[in-house]
Amino acid sequence: MKFEDFEIDETEDFAAMLEESFKKSESKSDLVTGTIVKIDEKDNLVVVDIGGGRDANLDLTEITDEDGKVLFAVNDPINVVTMGRGRISYKAALARVALNEFIAEYDEEQEYIIEGVVTKKNKGGYVVEVDGLEFFMPRTLSYLSSKPGVESVGKKVKAVIVKVDKEKGSVVVSRKELIERDKAKTDEIVGALLESKEPVIGTIKKITSYGMFVDVGGMDGLVHYSQISHKGPVNPSKYFQEGDEVNVIALDYDKKKRHLSLSIKDANPDPWADIDAIIGVGDTVTATVSNIEPYGVFVDLGEDLEAFLHVSEISWDKNVKHPKDYLENNSEINVEVIEIDKEGRRLRVSLKNLLPKPMDAFVSANRVGDVVTGTVTSITDFGAFVKVGTVEGLLHNQEISWDKSKNAKSELKVGDEVEVKIIKIDRDAGKISLSKKALEDSPVKAFAETHKNGAIVTGTVKDKKDFGVFIALEDSVDALIRTEDLHPLKIDEIEKGQEIKGVISFIDANSDRIRVSVKRLERQEEREAMDQLNLDQDDSMTLGDAFGDKFKK
């Protein structure tokens, strides 16, 4: 109820108003015994002799039962109440007789609290009907609003009998008295709660989405959902049921709104006040899954503590799409505490740290050089990730094919099964490098079987860099001519597609590298010419003989 809706006018003379109501009752509601002189079912009318040579009309329905049977006959005596202007009421007489019986049996030493319905309203107040009895409730004792739009008739009310006049047959009740008592009791309860600041036992009466209403000593207070647990705001329906008893402490009381704020968490020890004694980083604890989100899971550690299990800490599998695929609400799991943030009052835990590491199992079963089969799980700009058993390895673009124009995006798609060779295992970093081209013969290897250092080759320029040019040789192999090996050619004058002749200066089939030198070719051709010349000359020929003609010229 809202006390701002109550209307209290202490300026009215209550005694005079009550006396006026009694006068009205005496003048308009006299109880008399009359005699039925006529029953006219056609006009639905009963004529009753009420004495003094006076007849009055009674509605036939008042003496007809539910089956339509008339309860009286002509010449039968009947109790009625005169209503004025020739009107009488049998039902009002029944109520008056019942009220007189109630008044006759009324014990002034005993308090009577009644619950009834407001049936009538007049200038002085209201008529409250209780089991057929009509009691008068003055307006100043009603605490009922007379504001426009606020209807009092038909309202259920609770009141206490404050005056009984046996001579006048009147009973006065007060709703205000009970409300003032409740207010006084409330003030007493609230005062005691706020003063002591000690936990008290309350009973949960109603649970809502924003908190719980708890009865403490006959008064309801609200425990907001943020005041339930030291874990932070929680859904009360997950932890409590209506009827549960809880320890609470009073926080505040709004007298205007008559709103009592309670706290459950302040009535219980704060685990963060002594967190070091409760839990530590590295501890393994049993937790209950309380809430699952796409980004992680909240788990209850007990002791009014909650921790967060990030999605990345659920499994060693890096492709966890949603935690619900691994965990269920209310399930118990063992987790390791990995972070305690005292200032932020946050705990982080890991599930995967307590699970066998896939890398350990992989290393025990595989070695560098092993050939394995895996499934492509994702493709990036730099290569593809291939799942081999329970771990993933990287198949870099440069390990896709000996043909450097090919890469992961052009040659593979997610879900493909590929055969690869393990070329590197970094156990500490948890990384595995794979190669597909290592299963094929290197073009350079085949080239090296027919070409050695010093062999003269011709290639077409594919690309230019600051450090040299790349040329395409026969059998689909490439070679590098470094800038210092281009002499007498100048790199600025070289164009793509241009043919260049040189000599192989370095060839390594294992690293798939060939280098060519133009500069060395010039020197080599000079030596070859000299060697050939020496072969053609006789042993007696001198150098002067060989070049005599040239010298002459």
**CATH number of the domain where residue 219 is located:** 2.40.50.140
In a domain, 495, yes or no: yes
Which helix (H) or strand (E) element contains residue 468?
A: strand 468-472
Q: Is residue 180 part of a domain?
A: no
Residue whose tokens read 């005496």: 26
Residues 37 and 159 in one domain: yes
DSSP, res 357: P
Copy the structure tokens of residue 24. 């009205």
Domain count, the chain: 5
Q: Tell whether 23 and 50 lie within a shared domain.
A: yes
Both 524 and 483 in one domain: the answer is: yes
Final residue of a structural domain among 243, 267, 291: 267
Residues 242 and 159 in one domain: no
- The gap between the terminal CA atoms of the chain, to the nearest Å, is 134
Helix boundaries (H) for 353-411? 358-365, 408-411
Asked whether the whole model's pTM tops 0.85, one would answer no
Spell out a b/e string for 382-420, using b for 16 or more CB atoms within 10 Å of the CB, else e: ebbbbbbeebbbbbbbebbebeeeebbeebbeeeeebeb
Q: Is residue 512 part of a domain?
A: yes
Q: Which residues of the chain have a pLDDT value below 50?
A: 1-19, 21-28, 550-553
Non-local CB neighbours of 301 within 8 Å, separated by 6+ positions: 279, 285, 287, 307, 347
How far is the C-alpha of 521 from the C-alpha of 509, rounded, in Å?
22
pLDDT at 547: 54
Q: Clarify whether residues 120 and 255 are in a common domain.
A: no
**Mean pLDDT, the chain, whole residue set:** 84
pLDDT in tens, 183-208: 887 777 777 777 777 888 989 999 99
Q: Are residues 61 and 139 in the same domain?
A: yes
Instruction: Please state whether 282 falls in left (phi above 0), alpha (psi between -120 and 50) or beta.
Output: left
Residue 541 lies in a domain: no
**Given this model, what pLDDT does residue 232 score?**
82
Instruction: Verify that 424 and 324 share a domain, yes or no.
Output: no
Residue 103 lies in a domain: yes
Predicted pLDDT at 53: 80
Q: Report if residue 538 sits inside a domain.
A: no
The CA distance from 334 to 219, in Å, is 43
Looking at residue 28, what is its pLDDT?
Answer: 42
Range of the domain at 29: 3-174
Rounded-to-integer distance, Cα 416 and Cα 510, Å: 28
pLDDT of residue 242: 92
DSSP-derived 3-state class of residue 493: helix
